Amino acid sequence: MKLQHTLSYEADPAAVFAILSDPDYVDEKCRATGSLDTEVDISADGADTVIATVRKLPADELPSFAKSFVGEAITVDQTERWGPAAQDGSRDGSLKATFRGTPMKVEATMRLSPGGAGSELRVAGDVKSGIPLMGGTIESFAADQLTKGLDREAEVANARL
C-alpha cells in the first residue's frame, strides 16, 4: 500500500532537524506514540545521521487475526538515515521499519524542506505485508496507524520548538 503524508513544523529545517535528531526527543516521541519500552541509538555514518529505534508497542488495537502473529505486544525496529543538509537546510532521508514476528515492512523516503509556516516533512513509500489473503487489510491498518503516529510525533516536535 502506498503511503504519502506531509507534516508541518513551526521552524526552519535546521531547527527541526536538531529536534528530530535529539535522543531525548526520539525517546519522548516513542513514548507519545504508545511505546512500552524504547531503545534509541543516534550515530553518524560518514555525512549521514542514523536514528535507530526499537519500540515495543501494545498490540491491543491490532485486528484479532493479526494478534495471533504477535501476541500482546509487537516490537518495531526502525531506522531513519538522513543525508547532510543542503544550503537551504533541506535534507533527504529514508525510513525502514520491520515488525518482529511478522512479514510486514515499511520503506519510505523523507524530505525535510522549507515550506508552510516553517518546514515540511514529506514521507512517501510503501507498507508491505506478506500475509496471504489478509495482507491488504493489514497494510491499510498499518498505514493508518503510521500516519497517526507521524502526526503525533510532529505534535511533540512542535511543542519542543
Instruction: With CA atoms as reference, report the closest residue to 93 among 126, 67, 121.
Output: 121
Instruction: Note the pLDDT of residue 68.
Output: 63
Distance (Å) of CA 129 to CA 109, 110, 124, 126: 18, 21, 17, 10
Per-residue cell: 10: 513551526
Strand partners, 6: 122
The per-residue pLDDT for range 27-53, each reduced to its tens digit, is 999 999 999 999 999 999 999 999 999
Tell me which of 29-33, 66-70, 100-104, 135-139 is least confident: 66-70
Mean per-residue pLDDT for 99-113?
92
The structural domains of the chain, ordered by start, are 2-160 (3.30.530.20)
Instruction: Note the pLDDT of residue 102.
Output: 82
pTM of the model: 0.91
